[in-house]
Structure formats: structure tokens, C-alpha cells
């Protein structure tokens, strides 16, 4: 059966973070925005709704499947456990963490939440990254990278090293913050650049150094996607190759807006 490369590239790519800056919606407004996105033409691009553990109690009945940010400490796992007993569909938990705590924290996640919930631990780029990714791999968890937001965006070299390290370790990753637009502009990373780096790291086995030009590319004309393939410059990946990269390496990224990335992709002619 043939697959559409655009669907494989963008399917469930965006985890909706409407509660988080810069959107910072209140819960009713965020739920309305999420419902509108899930009822729209491009709903197939939408994955989970991201909710802090401290706000799970505000969710209305019938909320979508969730990724929960652990924002209050060890007690958050009990809150998530209770939410699941109440029928909340929690697929992921995620948190910023000292890599030294990953083994013990992962054990707590498994003890409280069981095998049905996957954890993604946010890692800082720079020295020690490979060791931190190795700790994530040993814990059978996922990794997460922050691409901007309240803190300065990491340089393209740091993002490239993170993607290459995850690929080498067989660790799936998420991204968050700063990916407001498809194509890189100035110091702001583009989500299509990160997608390209992940896909071609996986498909072509590119080194971190070889990923840098993909992450640094600011020319929208360098990117193309149609039913058959995703291409950047002279690199090309088929629908089947993209599906494998999305399954095994780049899971999703968190965005406070769904409309902005969709509008960018429409303007680029990808959608």
C-alpha cells in the first residue's frame, strides 16, 4: 500500500501546548482552540494535548489524549495515576531533569504508572550530552530538547549533536519551545529544519557536522514535500523512510499554536 510522504512527515507531529507561553491560554480557551484544531482540515497533524500535572484537575470531561508535564515534583506521579484512574488518557509524561536522577525517576514512573506511559526527559545540550542520552537509553525512555522559549535558542551545532546522539543510541526524542515557524529565521529554529535533520540523520546516517547545514537552512525554496518524497537540496527521503524516522527517532514537538505552523506549511505549498 502506498503512503503519502506529507502524511508520514507531518502526521501527529504537533503536541498542542496552548496552556504554555507565549499563548498561555486559560483552560477553557485552550480546550476551545484544541477542539477547533481537531475538527479542522489538518487535524491529522495534531497529536496530544500537553497539560501540566498541576492543572490536570481543570481538564473537562472528554479531553484528548495527553502528555503531562511533571511540574511539581515526585507527587506529580500520584496525580497522574489518579487522573488515569479517572479515565484520562495519559500517553506521555515529560520533565526537565538532572541526568543523574533518570534511573531512579524512571523506576518511579514505571512503579506508579506502569508500562502504558512513556517518559521523555529533557536534556541540556553541551558537554555530557552523550552520557545523558545513554542514561535515557538505559532507562528505556525518550529524550527531549528545548529549542528556545524563555531561554536562548541553542546553536544549530548543539541541536545537531542532540539529534545525532539520539540516533546513535536508538533513543526517540521530542522537541519543545521556539519552533513557531517552519523554516529557520535568524536565531529561531524551524520545525521543518529539525524534521529534516532527524529524517536524514536516520535515513542517510549523517553525522552531527553534516546535520548543521540542514538545521541552518533559511531558504524556503530548499525544502519540498509531495506525495512521493520529502527533499532538502539534493537529499530525498521516501514516504516509507520518513515513516521509519518518525517512528524510531523524532516523535513530536510541542507548540502553543496549531494555526501558525499550519499557515506556514500552506504558504510553503507543503499543505
* Arithmetic mean of pLDDT over the chain: 96
Could you report the per-residue pLDDT of 83-125, keeping only the tens digit for each?
A: 999 999 999 999 999 999 999 999 999 999 998 999 999 999 8
CB 201 within 8 A of CB 232: no
* pLDDT more than 90, % of the chain: 94
Q: Strand 66-69 to strand 223-225: parallel, antiparallel, or no bridges (unpaired)?
A: unpaired
- Distance of CA 169 to CAs 88, 209, 221, 255, Å? 32, 17, 32, 26
Residue 251 has pLDDT above 80, yes or no: yes
Strands of the 235-238 sheet, one edge to the other: 223-225, 229-232, 235-238
Q: Is 260 exposed, middle or buried (0-12, 13-18, 19+ CB in 10 A)?
A: middle
Compute the distance between CA of residue 230 and CA of residue 39 in angstroms, rounded to an integer.
27
- The answer, yes or no, to whether residue 2 has pLDDT greater than 70, is no
- Tell me: the pLDDT tens digits for 117-155? 999 999 998 889 999 999 999 999 999 999 998 888 999
pLDDT reported for residue 56: 97
Q: Which three cell numbers stand for residue 103?
A: 534511573
22 prior amide bond cis, ω within 30? yes
Amino acid at each position: 500500500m502506498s503512503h503519502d510522504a506529507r502524511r508520514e512527515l507531518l502526521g501527529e507531529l504537533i503536541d498542542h501546548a496552548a496552556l504554555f507561553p507565549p499563548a498561555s491560554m486559560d483552560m477553557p480557551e485552550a480546550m476551545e482552540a484544541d477542539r477547533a484544531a481537531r475538527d479542522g482540515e489538518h487535524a491529522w497533524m495534531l497529536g496530544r494535548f500537553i497539560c501540566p500535572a498541576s492543572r490536570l484537575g481543570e481538564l473537562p470531561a472528554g479531553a484528548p489524549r495527553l502528555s503531562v508535564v511533571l511540574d511539581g515534583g515526585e507527587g506529580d506521579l500520584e496525580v497522574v495515576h489518579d487522573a488515569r484512574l479517572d479515565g484520562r488518557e495519559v500517553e506521555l509524561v515529560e520533565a526537565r531533569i538532572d541526568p543523574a536522577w533518570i534511573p531512579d525517576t524512571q523506576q518511579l514512573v514505571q512503579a506508579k504508572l506502569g508500562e502504558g506511559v512513556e517518559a521523555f526527559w529533557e536534556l541540556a545540550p553541551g558537554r555530557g550530552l552523550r552520557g545523558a542520552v545513554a542514561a535515557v537509553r538505559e532507562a528505556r525512555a525518550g529524550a527531549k530538547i528545548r529549542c528556545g522559549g524563555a531561554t536562548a535558542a541553542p546553536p544549530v551545532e548543539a541541536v545537531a549533536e542532540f539529534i545525532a546522539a539520539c540516533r546513535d543510541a536508538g533513543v526517540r526524542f521530542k522537541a519543545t519551545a521556539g519552533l513557531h515557524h517552519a523554516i529557520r529565521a535568524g536565531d529561531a529554529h524551524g520545525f521543518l529544519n529539525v524534521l529534516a535533520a532527524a529524517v536524514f540523520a536516520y535515513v542517510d546516517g549523517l553525522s552531527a557536522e553534516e546535520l548543521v547545514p540542514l538545521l541552518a537552512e533559511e531558504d524556503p525554496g530548499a525544502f519540498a514535500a509531495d506525495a512521493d518524497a520529502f527533499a532538502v537540496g539534493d537529499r530525498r527521503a521516501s514516504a516509507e523512510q520518513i515513516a521509519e524516522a518518525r517512528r524510531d527517532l523524532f516523535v513530536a514537538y510541542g507548540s502553543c499554536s496549531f494555526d501558525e505552523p499550519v499557515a506556514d506549511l500552506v504558504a510553503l505549498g507543503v499543505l
